[in-house]
Amino acid sequence: MRTLSYAEAINEGMSQALDLSDDVVVLGQLVDTSGVFGTTKGLVQKFGKQRIQDFPVSESLMTASGMGAALAGMRPVLVHHRLDFMIYAMDSITNWLSLWRLKSNGDSRLPVTIRAVIGKGWGQGPQHSKSLHAWFAHLPGMRVAVPATAHDAKGLLMESIFGEDPTIILENRSLFSMIDEVPEHPYRVPFGHAAIRRIGHDVTIVALGIMVPLALRAGVQLAQKSIDAEVIDLRTVSPLDRESVLASVRKTRRLVVADPGWRSVGVAAEVIALVSENLGRDLRSNPAPNFTRPPPGTIFFALPRPTRRLAQKSQSSLERITSMAIEPAATGVTNMTGAGRPLPESLSSITALSPAIVCST
Q: What is the tens place of the pLDDT at every residue in 175-185?
A: 999 999 999 99
- Report the distance separating Cα 55 and Cα 136, nearest Å: 23
Helix 242-252 to helix 267-279 angle (10° resolution) is 60
- CA distances in angstroms from 268 to 122, 211, 265, 290, listed in the order given: 24, 12, 8, 8
The H-or-E segment that residue 196 falls in is: strand 195-198
**Domain extent listing, the chain:** 3-181, 195-353
Active site residues: 128
**Residue 342's pLDDT is what?**
34
For the chain, state the CA radius of gyration.
Answer: 20
Q: Which fold has domain 3-181?
A: Rossmann fold (3.40.50)
**Residue 288's pLDDT is what?**
65
207 has pLDDT over 70: yes
Q: 3-state secondary structure string, 201-229?
A: CCEEEEECCCHHHHHHHHHHHHHCCCCCE
Sheet strands side by side (includes 255-259): 195-198, 229-233, 203-207, 255-259, 288-291
65 has pLDDT over 90: yes
357 has pLDDT over 60: no
Q: Are 253 and 227 in contact (CB under 8 A)?
A: no
Q: How many CA atoms lie within 13 A of 168 on its CB side?
A: 31
pLDDT above 70 as % of the chain? 79
* Cis before 239 (ω within 30): yes
Of residues 360 and 318, more confidence is placed in: 318
**Residue 237's pLDDT is what?**
97
144 has pLDDT over 70: yes
Residue 343's pLDDT band (cuts 50, 70, 90): very low
Sheet strands side by side (includes 113-118): 52-54, 24-28, 75-80, 113-118, 167-172, 143-145, 236-238
Question: Which of 117, 127, 34 has the alpha carbon at shortest distance from 83?
Answer: 117
Q: What sign does the dihedral 113-114-120-123 (CA atoms) show?
A: positive
**Residue 278's pLDDT is what?**
92
- Report the distance separating Cα 189 and Cα 193, nearest Å: 8
DSSP annotation of 355 reads S
Type of residue found at 13: G
User: Is 3-181's fold the same as 195-353's?
Assistant: yes
**Residue 229's pLDDT is what?**
95
- Report the distance separating Cα 233 and Cα 156, nearest Å: 13
Q: Which of 116-130, 140-154, 256-270 has the lowest mean pLDDT?
A: 116-130
β-strand partners of 4: 180
Of residues 113 and 328, more confidence is placed in: 113
**Residue 325's pLDDT is what?**
75
Residue 118's pLDDT band (cuts 50, 70, 90): confident
**Residue 328's pLDDT is what?**
59
pLDDT above 90 as % of the chain? 63
**Residue 236's pLDDT is what?**
97
Which CATH number among 1.10.3720.10, 3.40.50.1000, 3.40.50.920, 3.30.465.10 corresponds to the domain 195-353? 3.40.50.920
Average pLDDT over the chain, rounded to whole? 83
β-strand partners of 118: 172
Q: What is the tens place of the pLDDT at every residue in 257-315?
A: 999 888 788 999 999 999 999 998 888 877 766 655 544 443 333 333 333 443 344 44
For the chain, what's the residue count?
A: 361
